[in-house]
Amino acid sequence: MSFEYHSGRLHAEEVALDDIARRHGTPCYVYSRAAIESAYREYSAALAGRPALIAYSVKANSNLAVLALISRLGAGFDIVSGGELKRVIAAGGDPRKVVFSGVGKTEDEIALALEAGILSLNLESGAELERVDAVAARLGKVAPVAFRVNPDVDARTHPYISTGLKQNKFGVAYAEAEKLYRDAAERPNVKIVGIGCHIGSQLTRAGPFVAAAERMLALVQQLDTAGITLEHIDLGGGIGIRYHEERLEPIGAFLDGALGMLAGRKETLIVDPGRSLVGNAGVLLTRVELVKHGEAKNFLVVDAAMNDLIRPALYDAWHEVRPVRKTGAPQGVYDVVGPVCESGDFLARDRQLAAMAGDLLAVMSAGAYAMTMSSNYNSRPRAAEVLVDGRADFLVRERETVEELFAKERVLP
């Protein structure tokens, strides 16, 4: 494991987190290279022997160092904006291994993707097909396209991260898919390359994932009959991680189930994991500013806040909080809160912890959807990011300064 105690001090690989706090300050995200690589290897091992592409979902953690590391493992990328495409290219990623998802790609973003030569634009509506066709025609290009189909499978996850139901904004209706493919096949400036789905995030059981693969397979066979052949089948991401007491099926169980469904098919299998590659590979390191004894509750007021990690406020998510050093501080039951002016500004509630002012805490499982969802609310500069590799730690994003936050603002003359 990448985050463990040695002689009473919590480490990231071989580097003590209190040393990182001393060198880089707090709050600070700390990532482990070994943890990312070992999660990646679970995917590559399960997919060995089959034409497959692991397209890391950039929105989970888009730091250039993380992207570069994952790119060097041979991965492609799943992106949802032109900004993410520019990040992938800046990190040395191969645009020919990029799939572009999302319901609202702008004309500029589509043009950027076509100029870069990406693998597939995953379309989410007939309107988007028309737009992509028009942009490609204007540029004299042929756009590689897939449809993201809504398999109408209940992912059994939090409603905000469930995406594969009829009432969600994502994907095209299953029953509409064949008609859209026929339409696409008629257009000279698009080339059909694949099909995709993504049913939601933080899935704990393989069942819904495999059910979605089965629904996709039925559609692929239907398209075959209509004379429409595909180069890839993209089953999305969504495999969960352990934050608390989730009982998770291993990555291999998800992929083996899907591979079983697709046995005998020649199309490349694409998966686009985000959280499961990086989520447990990061922590948010924070310092206790003070201990506040309230009327009904006791609080550890820390220097990280909801702007650094919004998941507890947004999804009611549970993150483990660990003391970085086991000190002699008295045990208590605390809410761990930040200084932001919102009652929703909490990182953890009702936790048994031994900590006092000045102590360091590690908020675990903060490698995914933490920094990428951060904001500058309350004019808080975003935290530094550090990547640990064995005995070395690298500052991979400097802490922002307050001056940078308002550098682009102007007052009236």
Ligand X SMILES: *Cc1c(COP(=O)(O)O)cnc(C)c1O
Please, which residue, 78 or 385, has the CB nearer to ligand X? 78
Give the CA angle between residues 220, 57, 206 to the nearest 5°. Answer: 55
Candidates 275, 287, 311, 351; binder of ligand X (CB under 6 A) is 275
Please, which residue, 40 or 346, has the CB nearer to ligand X? 40
User: At 111, which helix (H) or strand (E)?
Assistant: helix 107-116
Question: Does residue 194 touch ligand X according to CB under 6 A?
Answer: no
The per-residue DSSP string of 117-158 comes to: T-SEEEE-SHHHHHHHHHHHHHHT--EEEEEEEE------S-
Shortest Å, Cβ 135 to ligand X: 21
Per-residue x/- marks for ligand X, 31-70, CB under 6 A? --------------------------x-xx----------
Shortest Å, Cβ 238 to ligand X: 4
C-alpha–C-alpha distance, residues 13 and 318, integer Å: 23
Closest of 199, 232, 192 to residue 215, by C-alpha: 199
Shortest Å, Cβ 128 to ligand X: 14
Closest of 283, 280, 281, 262 to residue 271, by C-alpha: 262
Is residue 269 within 8 A of residue 233, CB to CB? The reply is yes
Please, which residue, 57 or 286, has the CB nearer to ligand X? 57
The count of chain residues that interact with ligand X, using the rule CB under 6 A, is 16
Stretch that binds ligand X, among 17-25, 28-36, 126-134, 274-282 (CB under 6 A): 274-282
Between the alpha carbon of residue 59 and those of residues 87, 93, 95, 224, 272, the distances in Å are 11, 15, 16, 33, 11
Please, which residue, 208 or 236, has the CB nearer to ligand X? 236
Shortest Å, Cβ 388 to ligand X: 22
C-alpha–C-alpha distance, residues 352 and 367, integer Å: 23
Residues paired with residue 10 on neighbouring β-strands, in sequence order: 5
341 among known catalytic residues = yes
Stretch that binds ligand X, among 46-54, 233-241, 251-259, 306-314 (CB under 6 A): 233-241
Please, which residue, 275 or 380, has the CB nearer to ligand X? 275
Please, which residue, 147 or 346, has the CB nearer to ligand X? 147
Question: Does residue 201 touch ligand X according to CB under 6 A?
Answer: yes
Q: How many CB atoms lie within 10 A of CB 111?
A: 18
Is residue 193 within 8 A of residue 230, CB to CB? The reply is yes
C-alpha–C-alpha distance, residues 269 and 53, integer Å: 6
Write out the binding residues for ligand X, residues 76-95 only, by CB under 6 A.
78, 80
Shortest Å, Cβ 378 to ligand X: 27
- The active-site residue out of 1, 341, 407, 411 is 341
Is residue 124 within 8 A of residue 148, CB to CB? The reply is yes
Residue that is written with structure tokens 């998802």 in the block: 101
Please, which residue, 164 or 338, has the CB nearer to ligand X? 164
Candidates 84, 133, 231, 272; binder of ligand X (CB under 6 A) is 272
Which residues lie closer than 8 Å to 412 by C-beta, 6 or more apart? none
Stretch that binds ligand X, among 46-54, 67-75, 230-238, 332-340 (CB under 6 A): 230-238
Stretch that binds ligand X, among 7-15, 236-244, 283-291, 355-363 (CB under 6 A): 236-244
Shortest Å, Cβ 26 to ligand X: 26
Residue 118 structure tokens: 């990406």
Q: Which residues are catalytic?
A: 341
User: Which residues contribute to the site for ligand X (CB under 6 A)?
Assistant: 57, 59-60, 78, 80, 101, 198, 201, 236-238, 272-276
